[in-house]
A and B are shown apart, each in its own frame.
Chain A
Amino acid sequence: MSKIKAALFSCCILISFYSSQAQISITTLAEAQYGKLPDESADPFPSIYDRTEIDFRSKGFSISSTFEQYQVKYDDRRYIDLSQLTLGYKKKKWDIKLGNFYETLGRGLLMRSFEIPGALLEDIGFRSRNYFHRDVLGASVKYRTKKATFQVLRGDVLNNVLPPTFDRSERRTDIVTAVSTKVKYIKGHEAGLIYMRREQSSGQGSASDNSNYLSGLLNGKIINGLNYYGEYAANIDNDDFALYTGVTGFVGNFNFTLEYKKYNDFVLGAGINEPPAGVKQQTYRVLNRSIHVSNPINEEGYQVDLFYNFKDGTVLNFNHSLAKNQFGNTNFSFRQYFFEVQSSIGEKVEYKAFLDYSQDPFKGELDRFSVGLYSDISLKEKVRLLHEVEYQTFDRGTSTVSNFNMLLGLNVKSKYFISFLGELTNDPFIIRDGNTSRLYFGGNLRYKPNYNHTLQLFAGSRRGGPQCSAGVCYEILDFKGVELRWVGKFKIKTKK
């Protein structure tokens, strides 16, 4: 913690304390683990991760701070860090932030910062643990009216792959300066223009790495039930560009979304932007794990998402997406066809089922079929039995890979939840020691005595791999052992 940060933090607390009315909220996420990566030779070891946010609010002013720590026996992995400190003022048309903040410019073609609630990042290279967020450290001023929005910001963007054991200069190598304006020129229609300059922080790269970008966007409603969106961003200094556009609408109970994307060499800096993937975000385990991750270096494609809603509440969803990548003289075409039905049988059984067919030559996964059925059965008032089963198979080289998983869970009054998840795979990338398959099996027990506290205990082994949440994909590691997580909230308001 720098002296400036510490002094600022202390001042903030005192200001808040002496203000006539203040709200304080404290949220802590603590996770204790005893275990190891299943393939690691080291013995199981204990570790504790904790993230505590302390927020103060008073009359439009806010002060937010986040402390993070990871305690483990390895010196190079543990840390204590004041990872975020923000001064904010938000009143009527003004929104001013100083310190750490999140901001997305347009649809993320130029810059997207984010926080994935509750997600911890553990990179296999560093084996430390940190909260999964990508923020900007600097200042932002936004002025917003019914007709227009103006914003100016400058800051260093976090490269969240590097844990807090690294210096700030290594974790924040991109300095961004941006000016953004959006105008609602007629009712329901908006046009915007963004200028952004990205520089390398001192000591990182050369001046030739600095670049300037311009982005134009349109957004509006053509007629009732038909909306459009489009954004085109380009590097002013060369031919790099990104285009993302789409229409969405409905006719009666039929709804549709059509999206088109074309990205050409548009990975900015250490990855400060996140152009939309144009591929359905899946929550089913086997599909979430094998989701196509957009590659803005070179990608073109589209997505069609169709829904139909029946009067009895049954919902049908069909999704098709195509993403083409070209690397050198090789072309890869990802194709996905997804169909889902959500419905109920009587008043006690709700279910959803999906069927998916994909071709993913970039991953070497061909003819990938996935199928699954989830059910939620009411046993008696406030007691529900959950059952989930999924199966996936695909060809990779000379192998035919199969993944199977099944969950059984019991939810009592939304206060107690117990579940068991088993996953079986014969994926040659996963199995070890000459075995023909590998089984992961774990149990979860969650106790939520009230809104303010949640306790969750996991024991067993769980499978890692790619995971996507809130539009962001990342890698989680296998784990075998015991894990206890506590999320606690404390909210206090002063009145004088």
Chain B
Amino acid sequence: MTHHYKIIRALVLIVPMLFSLNANAQTIDDFSLDNIDNELVSLDEIKGASVTIIDFWATWCKPCTKAMPKLNNIYNEYKDQGLSMIGISCDGPRSISKVGAVANNLNIDYHILKDINCEVMNAYNYQAFPTLIMLNADNEVIYVHEGFSSGDEVEIKEAIEAQLK
């Protein structure tokens, strides 16, 4: 029962605080990861002027590789309007060597970064593959899309266009 009391004590601290807060968008802090050419790049260096899309993926995730060519089309359609796109691979040691080959195989033009510990995705508690987040110029998360089925690219485009207006 002592465990119960300790949990309750913790909740007593947390709950009033939650109710005192205003709900606002989440902000992604700047981070640095290696790209497929082993160069360290930061979010601030490659973010878009208006919109940045971050797609968390893995080579072994079929919906991820299904989504990527469609995301690439979106990237090429809107990149001149201030959109940047970043694919963050969460491949672990077993498959990280395939990241570059898979990205090339899918003819991906946008930035591909490697995160062997999946730190960025875990830091913001995103748990599904693929997860796509859209940031505005202030790095605030304005749209999130989990999973991918054919046709989802239409919804993603609509979200981009709404932000670019």
In the assembled complex, which residues on chain B have CB atoms less than 8 Å from the CB atom of A23? 26-27
Given A102-B122, A188-B39, A492-B22, are A229 and B149 also a contact pair (CB < 8 Å)? Answer: no
In the assembled complex, which residues on chain A have CB atoms less than 8 Å from the CB atom of B145? 451
Nearest to A220 among chain B residues (CB) is B38
In the bound assembly, the distance between CA atoms of A61 and B38 in angstroms comes to: 27
Q: Are B38 and A381 neighbours in the complex by a CB distance under 8 Å? A: no
In the bound assembly, the distance between CA atoms of A381 and B107 in angstroms comes to: 27
In the bound assembly, the distance between CA atoms of A335 and B26 in angstroms comes to: 48
Q: Are A10 and B13 neighbours in the complex by a CB distance under 8 Å? A: yes
Q: Are A13 and B38 neighbours in the complex by a CB distance under 8 Å? A: no
Q: Are A489 and B125 neighbours in the complex by a CB distance under 8 Å? A: yes
Q: Count A interface residues, CB 8 Å.
A: 92
Q: Are B69 and A108 neighbours in the complex by a CB distance under 8 Å? A: no
In the assembled complex, which residues on chain B have CB atoms less than 8 Å from the CB atom of A414? 147, 149, 151-152, 155
Q: How many A-B residue contacts, CB cutoff 8 Å?
A: 193
Nearest to A14 among chain B residues (CB) is B13
Nearest-neighbour CB distance to chain A for B138, whole angstroms, equals 11
Q: Are B92 and A112 neighbours in the complex by a CB distance under 8 Å? A: yes
Q: Are A13 and B17 neighbours in the complex by a CB distance under 8 Å? A: yes
- Which B residues from 60 to 97 make CB contacts under 8 A with A? 60-62, 66, 69, 90-97
Task: Assess whether A123 is interfacial by the CB under 8 Å rule.
Answer: no
Task: Assess whether A190 is interfacial by the CB under 8 Å rule.
Answer: yes
In the bound assembly, the distance between CA atoms of A265 and B128 in angstroms comes to: 35
Q: Count B interface residues, CB 8 Å.
A: 68
Per-residue interface assignment for chain A, residues 1 to 23, with 1 indicating a CB less than 8 Å from any chain B CB and 0 otherwise: 10000100110010001000001
Task: Assess whether B165 is interfacial by the CB under 8 Å rule.
Answer: no
Q: Are A492 and B62 neighbours in the complex by a CB distance under 8 Å? A: no
Task: Assess whether A320 is interfacial by the CB under 8 Å rule.
Answer: no
In the bound assembly, the distance between CA atoms of A250 and B104 in angstroms comes to: 7
Q: Are B96 and A90 neighbours in the complex by a CB distance under 8 Å? A: no
Q: List 9 A-B contacts (CB under 8 A).
A: A24-B21, A27-B125, A60-B29, A80-B7, A82-B6, A108-B92, A250-B104, A257-B101, A307-B105
Q: 14 other contacts beyond A25-B26, A82-B7, A102-B117, with CB at 8 A cut-off?
A: A27-B125, A115-B118, A188-B38, A248-B100, A248-B101, A277-B94, A283-B61, A381-B151, A414-B151, A451-B146, A470-B92, A491-B23, A493-B26, A495-B24
